[in-house]
Amino acid sequence: MIREQILQTLDPQARQPWWKGAVIYQIYPRSFQDSNGDGVGDLAGVTARLEHVASLGVDGVWLSPFFRSPMCDFGYDISDYCDVDPIFGALEDFDRLVARAHRLGLKVIIDQVYCHTSDQHDWFRQSRADRTNPRADWYVWADARPDGAPPSNWQSVFGGPAWTWDARRGQYYLHNFLTSQPALNLHNPLVQDALLQTARFWLDRGVDGFRLDAINFAMHEPGLTDNPPVLTPGKRTRPFDFQHHYFNQSHADIPKFLHRIRTLLDSYGDDRFTVAEVGGELADVEMKTFTHGDRLLNSAYGFNFLYADDLSPEVIADTLRIWCGGADEGWPSWAFSNHDAPRAVSRWGRPEHGTALARLNLLLLTALRGNMFLYQGEELGLPQAEVPFERLRDPEAIANWPQTLGRDGARTPMPWTAAGPHAGFSDHEPWLPVDPAHRWLAVSEQEADPQSTLNLARRAIALRRSHPALRVGDVTDFAGAGPVVSFRRVATEQTVLCVFNLSDQPQIFTPPAGLTILAQSGVAELATGRLGPYAALIAQVPSSD
């Protein structure tokens, strides 16, 4: 507390809400820790491992869905917004988790999925019964075209048309994802009211904020206009990739709903946090729209890094350029890996460079302007796990195999110990297999090694917390000469230089005089300017420079 007060006295930019520049650790409960021996992680398991999370120095945790669900999309198909699925425990387990997190100084952020439910939700069961029931228009229903075809050409993210025929109503219903995930009709204010009531349920139980899943899918264009085709060349693995998604998502009224969400959270105090997941070709515009001013969401993150095939100066430059700190501009968040994207270490480099690249990634993520989302296992440098076809569980991975890496390889169990069954995750065969390559990266193997990736993660997060320039400062002097990227983070009376060699070959850079190294990974020599493969450097710049 004393340190925080000193920082605020030294730098006005440090007088910010807790979430601005925060480090949030994402936990995928199914794969974090199994407490009851059924091979699936649960809330009690998360609670038992929170000390590890707190030891990283992060500000909070984001829990992926644990709500009651048939698990067709592993929790993102919710059948009851206000209950815990038995596979994860009970509401009392969630309450104990929140209490333990708060005692450890961790905020708790949970997923809210507002653009669809499970087809097993009571709302949908009632809605599909007929066209006159009280919830008849709680979902997106439409008549067939004269020839019986779906009402528009919209395509599902997971493949095939975004419309499914329902004989009970004699109509099609919209689903932007799985057929078992019918789209809610958020143009209906009663639907918005119902969703906000579920938000109150969790706020009353002590959560500190929400991550809004795929929120740009929350409203469609009521005229059901066909999406235009993509005419430019490019890789396309799904029918979804053949269209510009102008009409099945991204409606102009979404910010009005976000304003209602913000108003609700503000009624619980000014320390609640909202972050949106925003993907797609309009993501940069939508992220800014959804966070503009001080009456919408606090932050948003897109897929600039999550879906990038390689880490290039252009990717970093474009991302930093978009979020330069203009008037009324919102605050971004960034993630390199999560439960929906193959792990960055495997996307951006070859296996022999995995450790070096993992360490560079940690320092780069630490240095970016915005909030830092760290996915479980990223602090260990985990690569994408190998999951044989017969063990795949993700419907998208199965449908697109072997054209994509899929999501299962990023969802395998967290390796806690190198010895023992299933890397300390469970005493039972896990729902996804433990990759043998993950065992030697387990927490038990890295904990006592001061030079491990795990301990570098701790040092990097501590550095970010103690330097306002890294936490909330501006970005200046970006340079991308070949594979070497450098930029400065600047706050009042503090400037930090960040330098990264994005290649597997040694490089040379010209350091300014008087630098003081704050953190580095790999060979980074100030005297010679030599940078080893995937080397990274964060250094204090003299105040006169």
**Active site (catalytic) residues:** 213, 277
Q: Using CA of residue 57, residue 58, residue 64, residue 67, what is the dihedral sign?
A: positive
Residue 100, judged by CB atoms within 10 A of its CB (0-12, 13-18, 19+), counts as: middle
- For 239, the token pair is 């029918």
Cross-strand partners of 173: 141, 164
Antiparallel, parallel or unpaired: β 299-301 and 331-335: parallel
Three-class SS state of 544: coil
CB 443 within 8 A of CB 56: no
How far apart (Å, rounded) are the C-alpha atoms in residues 59 and 105?
Answer: 7
The length of the chain, given as a count of residues? 545
Q: Which residue has the tokens 């190294």?
A: 517
C-alpha distance from residue 507 to each of 500, 517, 535, 536 (Å): 10, 18, 9, 11
How far apart (Å, rounded) are the C-alpha atoms in residues 123 and 424?
Answer: 40
Report how far Cα 397 is from the mean position of its chain's Cα atoms: 19
Residue-wise over 516-531: b if at least 16 C-beta within 10 A, else e?
eebbbbbebebeeeeb
Nearest residue to 292 via CA among 246, 339, 256: 256
What amino acid is encoded at 329 in this protein? E
How far apart (Å, rounded) are the C-alpha atoms in residues 536 and 545?
Answer: 21
Nearest residue to 15 via CA among 5, 24, 26: 5
Nearest residue to 361 via CA among 352, 373, 280: 373
Cβ neighbours of 375 (radius 10 Å): 24
How far apart (Å, rounded) are the C-alpha atoms in residues 365 and 24?
Answer: 12
How far apart (Å, rounded) are the C-alpha atoms in residues 381 and 348?
Answer: 13
